[in-house]
Amino acid sequence: MANSKPKRLYQAWKGSNRFFCGGRLIFGPDVASVFLSTLLIAAPSFAFCFQVIEKIHKHEMHESKHVDLSHRHILGFPVLIVGLFISIADLVFLFLTSGTDPGIVPRNNQPPESDETFDATSSSMEWISGALPNLKLPRTKDVLVNGLMVKVKYCDTCLLYRPPRASHCSICNNCVQKFDHHCPWVGQCIGVRNYPFFFLFISLSTILCVYVFTFSWINVIEEKKYYGNSLWESMKGEVLSLVLIVYTFISVWFVGGLTVFHIYLISTNQTTYENFRYQYDKKENPYNKGILKNFGAVYCSKIPPSLNNFRSWVIEEEVQVKSKTSKQSIETILEKETVDLEMGRKPDPDGYVSIPNLLRNLDFSEISDNLKVNDGNEVEAVVPFTFPIIEQPVIYMPVESNQCCLVSDGRVVDENADEVHFPIQSLHPLHALRK
């Protein structure tokens, strides 16, 4: 029995995302990592700005005491303003990356319509739902992109064929357009809508590291004259600058390497997911349009609107679902769908199941339902159906013999043999009873 309750979409969201400000901000399930990233950026930036302000104050004190300075200190107001601008912009792009819908594809409430299904059975088709055994969909479909064929996969969780370049994030439990990766530092998937913010975030992080590293070294060198022109003594005297030098030197290898890697990805129009799977190593990339156009596609094109209105009202249905493997569930499914699993068709309205044409013209009077038990208590299954016009002895097949299987035209296939054959040429078995 289902109870309908009107809720906001973000309140009934089936993904693992976390929402704030009434669904206006969407984060990943690991949103706490955003605060860690904020601390790693804000702490050294605040320390650097504090150092610059201290140097400015020290210089002003010397001027007020009419102390003759040979030249103004390099760490002045321009350095402070630029440092603050880079730090604030970096944090803004961090929150834009983390709190923006990356391009989540809305889920389907039910599998595709029956007109999209296929009657034929092949190895590329699978059951898409245990509750609908008569509905089959191909696992992949071919889509034409820029004159090249691209395969799109069916998502069992979202019940849809993913758009090209989309993938399902196991952490956020959503299909994301142009899925790049799930970044643990921003706690969010990186997709088509927040990738420009993400690249600016890591780029500004790299610039900030280089900026702080450079001016911290300049400060150490400038202060050397107050420590007897000894660089070592100057480093010991300027402890804060030394800490910032070590910290930014280590950090720039991570964010700098990541920035260079994504410059390569943008120039070749790849995603991290595609690159790690070597997707275009053996075939042409249908999205690559040249370096300039690839960069233009990221920063000279409008960000597509979100496919989800998280503040819209929806009806949430609470349905009690029983285990698919339980006998009661199977009986309920069969009763509801009224599907004959053996024949692959629905029974007649009177309750009778239609008999296949292959069995209508056979004489069933010769069928024997006796079982033969050998000396070792081994139960053997008899092949019951034979053509009545040929009188041949009944052939028995041992139970443990799993080499033979029945095919659609009534032949028996030996899995260990190279050819399809009959056990006896004059005998045409149609079915095998097995324990």
Spatial contact of 8 and 313, defined as CB atoms under 8 Å apart: yes
d(CA 175, CA 108): 11
Asked if 183 is an active-site residue, the reply is: yes
CA 409: distance to chain centroid? 43
Q: Which residue has the tokens 């029983």?
A: 322
Angle between helices 239-268 and 291-299 (to 10 degrees): 110
d(CA 311, CA 313): 7
The backbone torsions φ and ψ at residue 313, rounded to the nearest 5 degrees and listed phi first, read -90, 135
The tokens describing 40, both together, are 């790693």
Exposure on the CB side of residue 167, measured as CA atoms within 13 A: 17
d(CA 146, CA 278): 20
Pairing of strands 18-20, 25-27: antiparallel
Closest CA to 430 of 372, 382, 383, 361: 383
Spatial contact of 188 and 175, defined as CB atoms under 8 Å apart: no
- Residue 92's H or E segment, with its range, is helix 77-98
Spatial contact of 28 and 171, defined as CB atoms under 8 Å apart: yes
* Active-site residue, selected from the candidate residues 155, 158, 172, 183: 183
d(CA 77, CA 85): 12
Residue partners of 274: CB distance under 8 A and separation at least 6: 165, 280
Pairing of strands 3-8, 313-318: antiparallel
Q: Please calculate the CA angle 382-385-391 and round it to the nearest 5 degrees.
A: 95
Between the alpha carbon of residue 221 and those of residues 4, 79, 241, the distances in Å are 71, 16, 11
Between the alpha carbon of residue 41 and those of residues 35, 201, 202, 341, the distances in Å are 10, 11, 11, 61
Catalytic residues: 183
